[in-house]
Amino acid sequence: VVGTSVGGNIVDDMDYEGQDAGVSVTLLYLPGSKVMPFRVPDDMTESWKQSDWALAGLEAEGLNSGKLPSWAVSGMSEKDDAVIFSFAHPETPFFTKKVLNGLDFAFPRAKKVGAISGQAMENHEAALFMLPSITGADLNRESGACYDTGVVGLAISGAIAADTVVAQGSRPIGPNYEVLETDFNGTVINRMRDVSSGSMSEGAPTTLFDLAGFAGMIDQADVVAAVNYMALGISVTPLEEDIDKHQYIVRPITDLQKDGPISLNDQVREGQVVRFHVRDRSNAEAELSSLRARWQLERASRAMDGKYPAGAFVFTDQARGQKLYGKGGVETSAFARDFPGISLGGGYVDGAIGQLPNFGDRNEEPLFKGASGTPKPVGLLLDQMEKGTYLHGVGSAYLMIYGDAEDE
C-alpha cells in the first residue's frame, strides 16, 4: 500500500477537487508482474549504488534492461516495461530532485510517474503512506505507515506495458534568453540575454511586461494580477538551433516587480536557456486533446502487440483544475469520453512527477511500414525523452498500464 495526501481525489470521471475529506483507493491486478514498495530515507546520497536501492526496497532485476529476471513467468518478454511510482513531501523539493536523479541513473529503463503531496486546506498537513504489506500489519500504528519526510514509492515490472506523459498546458512566447545573473540560490533572475539578438535585459520583468502586452492578454497596468497566467520555461534541449524544437520544463512565476527581478518556485542556473510561457485554458485543453489523440493511436499499436489497457492514473497540479479551466472535471471527463471503460485513479497534488514526451523527428514517421501494414514498434508515439524525470509545477502526469489480452 503506497500513497499520499491530495487536494482532491480523482476516481474515473468523478472529480473531487478541493474537498477536505475522503479516501480513494486504486487496486492493481497484474498477473506475471512483480511489485516492490520502497521508501527512500532522508540520508540518501547521490553516491547510492544498486545495493543501497535494494535495501530501500528496489531490486535492479526486472527494472533494468537485459535478460529476463529469474522470477519471469510464461509470456514475459525482454521488451516488457517497468514503472516506478514516486511520492514526495512538498517541504523537501531539492531532496526529491536528488532522489529522481538517482532513480534515473540506477534504473534508466523504468518509466517514472508520481506526485508531490497535496493539501485540500491550508491547515492540512501533507503526508506520505507506505506499508510493504497489509498482511499482519498493525494498522493502528500510525507511525508505521505515515511519513512527513523522504520519498515513498512502488515499482512494477513484469508482463506489462506502460505509457507516461506530462501535459504542461503552456505555450511559449517571445525569444529564448540566456540567464546571466541569479540570486537567492537560483530562485531569482536578475539579468538575461536575448539568444537571437544578443541584447541584454537588466530587468527581466520589463521584458515580461512587454510580452504580456504583445500576447494581448492584459493591460500592462494589470500585469501583477496576471502572474498566475505567465510562467518561465527552462529548456532541456539548450543546444537545439530551431527555437520551435526546444522542449521546456515550465515553472510558475511567483512574484515580480516592475524593473526588478523575476522570482520562481524553483532554481535556475546561470547559462541556462529560458523562454516565457502563457498559461490559459485554451492552451491546456488543446495540448490535452493532442496528447489523447496520440494515446489512442498508441493504444491501437499496443493492441497489435497483444497488450490492452488495464487502467490509468493522473496526478494533476492544484494550479490546474478550476483555477485554470474555470470549472471542475475538465480532464477527467475528457479522458472518460476518449477512453470509455478504462479506470482512472489519482488526485490533485502540489506538483506532478514525470518524463517529457519525445515528439521529435522519429514521431513524424507513419504508424505503419509501407504497404505491407507491418506495425511500427510499440512505444513510438509516446516515446520518452532521455533527459530524465522532472518535477512539474503546472502539469498533469498521466500513466496508462497495459496487460495481456486474457487479463484485460
> Angle of helix 281-304 relative to helix 330-338, nearest 10 degrees?
30
Separation CA 133–CA 347 (nearest Å): 23
What does the pLDDT read at residue 332? 92
153 closest CA partner among 256, 239, 53, 84: 84
| pLDDT for 99 | 95
Query: Across the chain, what does the average pLDDT equal?
Result: 80
Contact between 73 and 62 (Cβ < 8 Å) = no
Radius of gyration of the chain (CA): 22
pLDDT band of residue 70 (cuts 50, 70, 90) is: low
**pLDDT, tens only, 309-330:** 889 999 999 889 888 888 888 9
Q: Could you tell me if 350 and 126 are in contact, meaning their C-beta atoms sit under 8 angstroms apart?
A: yes
Q: In what order do the strands lie in the sheet with 111-116?
A: 33-40, 151-158, 82-88, 111-116, 352-354, 390-392
Lowest mean pLDDT among 96-105, 248-257, 281-290: 248-257
pTM of the predicted structure, to 2 decimals: 0.84
What's the mean pLDDT in 146-166?
Answer: 89
- Residue given cell 536501492 in the structure block: 53
